[in-house]
Amino acid sequence: MQYKYIATNIEGKFIKGEINAESPQDLISNLRSESLFCVQYQKKIELKAIKFYMPTSQKEIALFCKYMSTSLKAGMNICDILNLVSLQFTNKKFNDLLHIIRQSIEKGNTLSEALKNYPKLFPSLLREMVYIGEESGKLQDIFYNMESYYNSTYKRNKKNYQFFNLSCIYFYFNYNYWVHYDF
């Protein structure tokens, strides 16, 4: 299994690298044999096509935009933000997707190019607005506006769904009342 790691040497310098190891314990022992002390490690996710069976929900998109906006406002770089954002979601497939997007950015692509590789998971409006934000230098503002848009869309759809269910229940009971009522 391939691992990415950050380690320190005897002089205290940080070293980043990749290594093959069977388990995290093997990774640590391999680094110690090279006089390195592991500070952080994670499994490397290969850049590949992941099959997703469900599109990303509007609530997840709104949360993604919120985390991106807040982190960009704090001055963090995109790769660190994506790493941090992936820790916030419980959806494993979405986490894997964020890791793949981060790897794509590390290889030199822009965020909008990385998002365009997944048209079924990220809405076209978000992808195009991210592109505009990158070109104009106002990516943080774009994510803030997209968060409010997707949040309001999510709430509106939720209310419509509740209204539809209530209407169906009302119709069902009203229909049963009139069918069984003798005049």
Q: Tens digit of pLDDT for each residue in 109-140? A: 999 999 998 888 889 999 999 999 999 999 99
Q: At 75, is the pLDDT very low, low, confident or very high (cuts 50, 70, 90)? A: very high
Answer yes or no: is 145 within a domain.
Answer: yes
Q: What are the tokens at 158?
A: 């939720």
Answer yes or no: is 135 within a domain.
Answer: yes
Q: What is the pTM assigned to this prediction?
A: 0.61
Q: Tens digits of per-residue pLDDT, 162-177?
A: 777 777 787 777 766 6
Identify which of 136, 70, 68, 159 has the alpha carbon closest to the alpha carbon of residue 105: 68
Q: At 53, is the pLDDT very low, low, confident or very high (cuts 50, 70, 90)? A: very low
Same domain, 17 and 80: no
Same domain, 153 and 85: yes
Range list of β-strands (E), 81-144: none
Q: Which residues contact 128 (CB under 8 A, 6 or more apart)?
A: 112
- C-alpha count within 13 angstroms, C-beta hemisphere, residue 73: 10
Q: Which pLDDT belongs to residue 56?
A: 76
Q: Which pLDDT belongs to residue 88?
A: 85
Q: What is the CATH number of the domain that holds 71?
A: 1.20.81.30
Answer yes or no: is 53 within a domain.
Answer: no
Indicate the number of domains in the chain. Answer: 2
Same domain, 31 and 63: no
Q: Which residue has the higher pLDDT, 183 or 127?
A: 127
Same domain, 9 and 96: no
Ordered strands of the 37-43 beta sheet:
14-20, 2-8, 37-43
Answer yes or no: is 180 within a domain.
Answer: no
Answer yes or no: is 174 within a domain.
Answer: no
Same domain, 31 and 96: no
Residue range(s) defining the domain that contains residue 31? 2-43
Q: Which residue has the higher pLDDT, 159 or 46?
A: 159
Q: What span, in angstroms and rounded, lies between the C-alpha atoms of 12 and 88?
A: 31
On average, the pLDDT of the chain sits at 85
Contact call for residues 139 and 72 (beta carbons, < 8 A): yes
Same domain, 15 and 92: no
Same domain, 107 and 147: yes
Would you tell me how many other CB atoms lie within 10 Å of the CB of residue 81? 21
Q: At 48, is the pLDDT very low, low, confident or very high (cuts 50, 70, 90)? A: low
Cα–Cα distances in Å, from 106 out to 17, 27, 60, 110, 177? 14, 23, 24, 9, 64
Q: What are the tokens at 72?
A: 């960009």
